[in-house]
Amino acid sequence: MGRAPCCSKVGLHRGPWTPREDALLTKYIQAHGEGQWRSLPKRAGHNILLSLLLLLHLPSQCLLRCGKSCRLRWMNYLRPDIKRGNITPEEDDLIIRMHSLLGNRWSLIAGRLPGRTDNEIKNYWNTHLSKKLRNQGTDPKTHHKLTVPPEKKKGKKKNKQKHENKKGSSEKTLVYLPKAVRVKGLSCVPRTESTFTLDSNSGSASTSQEKVQSPEEVAREVNMVWGVGNEGIFFGEDHDLVNTSYVECHSDDVHTDHGTLQKLYEEYLQLLKDEEKPADELDSFAQSLLV
DNA sequence: AACGCAACCAACCGCTCCCGG
DNA sequence: ACCGGGAGCGGTTGGTTGCGT
């Protein structure tokens, strides 16, 4: 029955982040704090088309990513307190011990390792530690001694082998660990003290009260799925209604047929892709569209 | 040099939980 | 009490890189 995706995939970037996108996200979060992920791309100006309609208000800040993707990128990569790589033997040992206690609750384990992310630990576990334990004759899932020696790997087809190993089959031991549950901030060990201080003091609270410029107030209701209505172009995310009157009053100068917008959008994507362009290229691109 | 395989890891997916209305 | 949206989490995928042949 699955819920609808967290965001419309229409028109959103996927795949690896570019330095430009990283910079936009970092800049935004430094200014406004973490949280409100779902609405972040809007507030960071992710809707270029909307931005065009809104007289290209701060076009260089456009971030065509869904909130979920922004959160992930920030949490796993961009946060300033993140240590990357060089996991020490002490950390190794701690991860193994924590895993034996907590199972695959990566976020809890990460909470004990300042600067480490759950994703990093999970990856590290899957690629290094589980192998290491297996080689030591320990079942990486149960942390019990293996009765049979670790199976030697044979050269096999790339992905098939990889995924068969992961999915496992008959030899896989079922471990009845409780299903991972989210732990509230209080009971959960913060990743780092500084992060928590930031969150509780200034982060989301201040974010929610931040002053929003009027075009962005509209942007809150207006998002990415776009089409042409009776009164001209409109945008909206999923089911959001669109304040067409507002758009109308700001879009007089913009050609609003579908083809033109599609073209603009494609141009924008092209610019975003092209990292060789100077940082203000998007601005000038947008400005060039102003009549 | 070219190819194939394995390892790595960033990013995505889908689910669950929390919380406000 | 119920419902829906947002956030967080663990599992999985697939692109990239490195290495051996």
Token couple for A114: 């300042």
**What tens digit of pLDDT does each residue of A230-250 get?**
323 333 333 332 333 333 333
Of these ranges, A44-53, A115-124, A129-138, the one predicted with the greatest mean pLDDT is A115-124
CATH number of A89-149+176-191: 1.10.10.60
Mapping DSSP to helix (H, G, I), strand (E, B) and coil, where does residue A244 land? helix
Quick check: A54 and A226 in contact, CB under 8 A?
no
DSSP state of A255: -
Output the distance from A184 CA to B18 C1' rounded to whole Å: 9
Nucleotides of B under 7 A from a protein CB: 5-19
A205 Cβ within 7 A of any nucleic strand B atom = no
**What tens digit of pLDDT does each residue of A273-287 get?**
554 455 455 445 444
Beta-bridge partner residues of A138:
A145
A237: which nucleotide lies closest, measuring CA to C1'? C5
For chain A, which residues make up each domain, given as ranges?
19-79+204-289, 89-149+176-191
Determine the pLDDT at residue A44: 58
Is A79's pLDDT higher than 50? Answer: yes
Mapping DSSP to helix (H, G, I), strand (E, B) and coil, where does residue A227 land? strand
In A161-238, at which residue ranges do the beta strands (DSSP E only) sit?
225-229, 232-236
* Cβ-based burial of A173 (10 A; exposed 0-12, middle 13-18, buried ≥19): exposed
| Distance, CA of A227 to CA of A98 (rounded, Å) | 51
